[in-house]
Every structure is written in C-alpha cells, then in structure tokens.
Structure 1
Amino acid sequence: MKRVILAEKPSQAQAYAESFGKFSKKDGYIILNPSNDIITWGFGHLVELASPEEYRDEWKKWNMKELPIIPQTFKFKVGQGKSKQFNIIKRLLKEADQIVIATDSDREGENIARSIISQAKADNKEIKRLWINSLEADEIQKGFSDLRDGKDFYSAYIEAQTRQI
C-alpha cells in the first residue's frame, strides 16, 4: 500500500521524518526508509479562495452598498507562486492508496489539508488522521501507531471552510 503523509509545513514534515529514523529528501517530499511512505507538505494556504474579480469583472471595484458579495458557487485556486509544490503534492496524492492528514490538529489544519486534497481531486482515497499536539519523536510515533479515521474530522473541515468563505 502506498501511503502519503500530508504535513502543513516543511518543518513539521522534517520532524515526522526524523522520528522515523532513516529517510531521503527529494524535491518537495521525503521518502521514509524502509517503508517507502512519503511525507509531503504545504506552506501557507496552498489552496485559497478566488478573489471577487475572478468571479465578475464588476466586483474588482466595489463599495459598501454592493455588499455582501456572494457568488453562486465559490472557486478555489492554487496560490500565486505555489504551483510547483502543489503539483508535486497532486501527483503524490493521485498515486497514493492512503492519505494521512498530518497537519496541525485543529480546524484550520483540517481545512488546509482537505482543500489541497480536494483541489488535487484525490478525495476518493482512504483518509486517516494523525491527531497529536507535540512534535516530540515519541509522541509522533505514538500518533502514527493510532491513526484515526479521516471521516471523524470532516465536520471540522466544513466548519473551517465555512468560516473562510
């Protein structure tokens, strides 16, 4: 089974890798040895809401009388200058049998991961959730030995995305 671990940021991915011992760094991801599990990461909001003018030209310049601006459907996009890392993640997620969301253990972390997974069109994969509050090696290992079902955290994603919108 090919497993891809999605961290929120490079430093978090590095801490995970170090807790496993042997690993090799690649461009935009880390391969754990001997399991061949892959850790990759976002940075900032890799996937973000489209700005108002991307829906309608007349929304580029608006005034208070025109608020609220609510499009029929909300559009998400990869942030400017972030395409290279997104494309690496997208390829890895497409090849994965299982995705482990290993972003920060909060609604925002869930939103960051699920937005990336959704934009990569990889939300049909089995999803597990790492739920830890420490980057100490023993806590990381304990968390990876007790991964939770990703479905249990989906509502946190909806809450955070609703707040974002």
Structure 2
Amino acid sequence: MQEQTTTQWGADGALEVLTFDLQEETFALEAIMVREILDLLPETIVPGAPSLVGSVVNFRGKIIPIADLRLAFGMPAAEATVDSRIVVIELETESEALQLGIRTDKVHEVATLMRDNSEPAPAVGLRWRRDYVRELVRTQDGVIVLPDLATIFRTFLGAGDAAALSTVH
C-alpha cells in the first residue's frame, strides 16, 4: 500500500484552505496551491487520456489539463451550472511545476481548518477509496474532505512525480 500524503498543519495547528463542493460533499485544497479560480472554459477532449484528466483548456496561452475529482470519488458526472468553476492549482513534482485545473460544482471561500478537529478517514463506513482521503475535518457546517492528490493523480503523473508531490504538501 502506498503511503498517504501528510497534511502540513501550521505551528498553531491551523491550515488555510479553499473549500468547494462536488455533489453534496465539501472538499478543501491548501490555499497555497491555488493559483486562480476561473469560470468554466471550453474544454478539448484528449483521446486516449485517462478519464480523470480527460480534457484540457487553453488558459492564457497555456494548455492546462482538467481533472474531474468526481470520477476519483465515484460520483456521477454532472452538468455545469452557473456556480461551476475551475480551480487552477500548481503541483510541484520532481521534474516541474505542473498547473492543473480541478472542475468544481461550487467554490466557497478560503477558510481556516484546525488540526484538533481532524481525523484520518475511517477504515469502514467510507464510500470512497480510503487512500484518496488524507483527513476529514469537522466544522460547524459539517465535514470537509482533504483529498490526497498525490494518490489520486499517481497514474496521471507517474509514480516518481506523484511520490515527489507527496513530500511537498
């Protein structure tokens, strides 16, 4: 089994994140990874690409792969809505800084999560692959999922780059 990425909580036990929805669930990415939040752009399907990153967009003259985390979490595809956005993140790998867009149903806000409210994904009762979830964080509004992007994108990035990604968070 692959080792999961660890969350890099601040010295005060806090973590600044951008929260967003996929279906009925709230997810979060470290705010430091986020480069831009975009309205949906025309996507070009890439024949033969894995469905998780099956399309690209032209963003300011640069081709950026678009990931649909719904597929990683076994959620059904959804039609875009007025609230749908693309969150452009930057991942540091062994070989390069990679920009990647993540399609979301709705982006919420930058929030501060606290380590004291977090716990690892349970061994049972989780409908997703446990290794795709770094931690679950309780908030007054419910539970926020911190996805393990290194594990999710391992196939897309290649094992070496995904392993390097694990050390950057």
User: TM-score, normalised to structure 2's length?
Assistant: 0.24
Greater Cα radius of gyration, structure 1 or 2: 1
**Bigger share in helix:** 1
User: TM-score, normalised to structure 1's length?
Assistant: 0.24
**Bigger share in strand:** 2
